[in-house]
């Protein structure tokens, strides 16, 4: 187990290294950042000097080396626009994104797992077919459009829920959170529902597929013969054994949600990292884009790592090599 | 054998209501994209046909609606239905082309990877692993922001995120096919590797490819719509359905919902149709995945 953990940690480092190379290379293609920092009427000499100051006159390789050593020393560069450390900008907005993603995935799981268990245990009932058709529709929905329609219905037409911002936040353990106030909840509910829909559909389908597979097994038949209650069979024996693919997809979905949060945050003007990313892309604010990508890469790799460890905990049959 | 298979396929198709519904949606949308421009009264990109007086007309069945504009008009007096018809062509073109590109590239890499295994295989599969640990939406968004926007860039970005699925699927089936006797027989008969891959392996790994391709078109249309919605997709001169929704977003708060609601609804039904049909294909062609 320890050996496996170390091996995975080394793999993680390698992946992050590759990502840093790719991010760096890609970013060096996006126009000349020197024009982001100098006044429009600069002379040729001033441009040259700015270039030297930014280190843009060096070779690509030595630029990468500086980039990497700075990253490792915790220096992630400064935003061209805000003139602040890029990392601070992102960390300041990270709680908002994580809060929304967690509310969304909780919502999705709470709805999807019971429906998936039902549809998997009774695959031929009309209700199950309806659930499955609904989930397919959920996958087909363009998330941004759903968000807009929710805004139109709940904010424009009925003025029932606010359409933008985080609402009132409360400082908790050093984080500003919306979910601790009623006003915050009224702000978070629409973006969270928008974000949750696709995930809900996917978790539902995976749960159902897992349940259908498990319900065929002998131990389910045995549990029935033994006279265990239906509830106990479904959740105690069935769901417990159908959980492995659900956990995998749960990890992947968490990553997807962070990515799709960029869209949801843009629609609902939710002041999180995703909106910062999109704004930075518009403004050509390279350091912020780089830090965002490196940070999300780190988060994804860490999620995958945790999922792999969780496997061994929920299924003793899986032994690590 | 082939005939039997296809007749059973048809039999199941006729009994599968969702599949019929899905393919009906696709046929309707396909026809709309193909001949739609002949059916709508206006070319929304020909300025001489636009009447500014007709801007922001609601759909025809609502008060103030105009029977000439079934789904209403936008701020420049353009017929929303006509915009959708033209936009659907761009969306469908991008979805299908990106599917074809990523299919060719992914299948080639998958075949090579599965057939030769070894170093090439591990390199390709490691790249695929790394790429799959990131959401395709984020990779596409990143590529678009790094290399600029436009239809060609959208196609490149979609291909770059789409090949992995094909490579993985094809590699898997190739690995199991080359164990089989007919491949050994072909080797003994003295066929070259290239011949074996093209003539014997490829036809036998096609089935899962069809399923993957169907679903991929839907995925690509959705990703393209999201990119265009964020403003890093297609240019304003070639508006896809996603861009139409984005344009509608600006006026949504003044209560004008039809310029964004209908294009979005269209994307939804288009992708829903693709997914319904794809689901049916998957169940039919690959019962193991059921």
- Nearest residue on chain A to B253, alpha-carbon basis: A156
Q: What is the pLDDT along chain A (321 residues), one digit of tens a residue?
A: 777 788 888 888 888 888 888 888 877 766 666 666 677 777 778 788 877 777 777 777 888 888 888 888 878 888 888 888 888 889 888 889 999 999 999 999 999 999 999 998 888 888 988 898 899 999 899 989 999 999 999 988 888 888 887 777 777 776 777 777 788 888 889 999 999 998 999 999 989 988 888 888 888 888 888 888 888 888 878 887 777 777 777 877 888 888 888 999 999 999 999 999 988 888 878 888 888 888 888 888 888 888 877 777 776 666 654
Question: Which among A303, A298, A279, A299 is positioned nearest to A289, based on CA atoms?
Answer: A279
Chain A residue numbers with beta carbons less than 8 Å from the beta carbon of B255 are: 156-157
CB contact under 8 A, A142 and B226: yes
CB contact under 8 A, B147 and A256: no
pLDDT digits (tens, 9 = 90+) for B143-197: 888 787 889 999 999 999 999 999 999 998 898 888 888 888 988 888 888 888 8
Chain A residue numbers with beta carbons less than 8 Å from the beta carbon of B18 are: 133
pLDDT at position B289, please?
Answer: 45
Residues 6+ apart with CB under 8 A from A247: A307, A310, A311, A314
CB contact under 8 A, A137 and B231: no
Mutation for testing the B interface, residue in A29, A137, A140 having most B CBs under 10 Å: A140
A61: how many CB neighbours lie within 10 A of its CB?
Answer: 8
CB contact under 8 A, B133 and A255: yes
| Token pair in block for residue A248 | 């995998």
Say which CATH superfamily domain B87-289 falls into.
MetI-like (1.10.3720.10)
Q: Which CATH number fits domain A89-285: 2.40.110.10, 1.10.540.10, 1.10.10.60, 1.10.3720.10?
A: 1.10.3720.10
Helix (H, G, I), strand (E, B) or coil at A39: coil
The residues spanned by each domain of chain B are 87-289
pLDDT digits (tens, 9 = 90+) for B86-107: 889 899 999 999 999 999 999 9
CB contact under 8 A, B268 and A145: yes
Distance from CA of A145 to the nearest CA of B (A): 6
pLDDT at position B219, please?
Answer: 92
| Model confidence at B11: pLDDT above 90 | no
Q: Cα(A312)–Cα(A320) distance, rounded to whole angstroms?
A: 8
Distance from CA of B26 to the nearest CA of A (A): 14
Q: Model-level pTM?
A: 0.87
CB contact under 8 A, B141 and A259: yes
Distance from CA of A227 to the nearest CA of B (A): 29
- As a whole number of Å, the end-to-end CA separation of chain A is 8
On whether the CB atoms of residues B285 and B208 are closer than 8 A, the answer is yes
Distance from CA of A67 to the nearest CA of B (A): 17
- What is the ipTM, given to two decimal places? 0.86
């Amino acid at each position: 187990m320890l050996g496996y953990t170390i091996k995975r940690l080394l793999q993680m480092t390698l992946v992050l290294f590759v990502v840093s190379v790719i991010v760096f290379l890609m970013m060096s293609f996006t126009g000349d950042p020197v024009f982001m920092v100098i006044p429009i009427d600069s002379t040729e000499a001033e441009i040259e000097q700015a270039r030297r100051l930014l280190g843009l006159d060096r070779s690509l390789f030595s630029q990468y080396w500086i980039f990497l050593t700075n990253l490792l020393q915790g220096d992630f560069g400064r935003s061209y626009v805000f003139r602040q450390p890029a990392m601070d900008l992102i960390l300041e907005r990270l709680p908002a994104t994580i809060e929304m993603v967690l509310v969304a995935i909780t919502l999705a799981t709470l709805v999807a797992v019971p429906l998936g268990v039902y549809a998997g245990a009774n695959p031929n009932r009309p209700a199950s077919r309806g659930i499955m058709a609904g989930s397919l529709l959920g996958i087909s929905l363009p998330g941004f459009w759903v968000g807009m329609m929710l805004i139109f219905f709940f904010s424009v037409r009925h003025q029932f829920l606010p359409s933008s911002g985080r609402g009132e936040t409360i400082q908790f353990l050093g984080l500003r959170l919306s979910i601790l106030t009623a006003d915050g909840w009224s702000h978070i509910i629409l973006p969270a529902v928008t974000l949750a829909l696709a995930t809900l559909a996917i978790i539902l389908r995976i749960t159902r597929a897992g349940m259908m597979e498990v319900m065929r097994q002998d131990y389910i038949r045995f549990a029935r013969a033994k006279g265990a209650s239906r509830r106990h069979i479904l959740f105690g024996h069935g769901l417990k054994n159908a959980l492995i693919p659900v956990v995998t997809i749960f990890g992947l979905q968490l990553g997807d949600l962070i990515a799709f949060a960029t869209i949801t945050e843009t629609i609902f003007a939710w002041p999180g990292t995703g909106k910062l990313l999109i704004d930075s892309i518009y403004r050509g604010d390279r350091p912020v884009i780089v830090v965002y990508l490196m940070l999300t890469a780190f988060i994804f790799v860490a999620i995958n790592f945790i999922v792999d460890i969780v496997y061994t905990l929920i299924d003793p049959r899986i032994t690590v090599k | 054998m082939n005939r039997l298979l296809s007749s059973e396929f048809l039999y199941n198709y006729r009994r599968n209501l969702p599949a019929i519904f899905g393919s009906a949606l696709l046929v309707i949308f396909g026809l709309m994209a193909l001949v739609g421009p002949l059916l709508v009264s206006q070319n929304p990109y020909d300025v001489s046909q636009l009447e500014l007086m007709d801007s922001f007309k609601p759909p025809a069945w609502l008060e103030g609606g105009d029977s000439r504009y079934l789904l209403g008009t936008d701020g420049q007096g353009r017929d929303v239905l006509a915009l959708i018809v033209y936009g659907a062509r761009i969306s469908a073109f991008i979805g299908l082309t990106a599917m074809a590109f990523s299919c060719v590239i992914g299948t080639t890499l998958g075949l090579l990877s599965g057939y030769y295994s070894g170093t090439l295989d591990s390199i390709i599969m490691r790249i695929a692993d790394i790429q799959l640990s990131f959401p395709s939406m984020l990779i596409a968004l990143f590529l678009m922001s790094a290399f600029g926007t436009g239809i060609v860039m959208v196609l490149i970005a979609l291909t770059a995120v789409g090949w992995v699925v094909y490579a993985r699927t094809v590699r898997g089936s190739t690995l199991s096919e080359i164990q089989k006797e007919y491949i050994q027989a072909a080797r003994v008969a003295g066929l070259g590797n290239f011949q074996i891959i093209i003539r014997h392996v490829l036809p036998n790994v096609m089935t899962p490819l069809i399923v993957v391709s169907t679903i991929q078109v839907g995925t690509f249309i959705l990703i393209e719509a999201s990119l265009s919605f964020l403003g890093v997709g297609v240019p304003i001169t070639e508006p896809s359905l996603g861009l139409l929704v984005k344009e509608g977003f600006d006026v949504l708060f003044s209560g004008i919902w039809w310029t964004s609601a209908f294009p979005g609804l269209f994307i939804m039904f288009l992708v829903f149709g693709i997914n319904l049909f794809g689901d049916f294909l998957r169940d039919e062609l690959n019962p193991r995945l059921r």
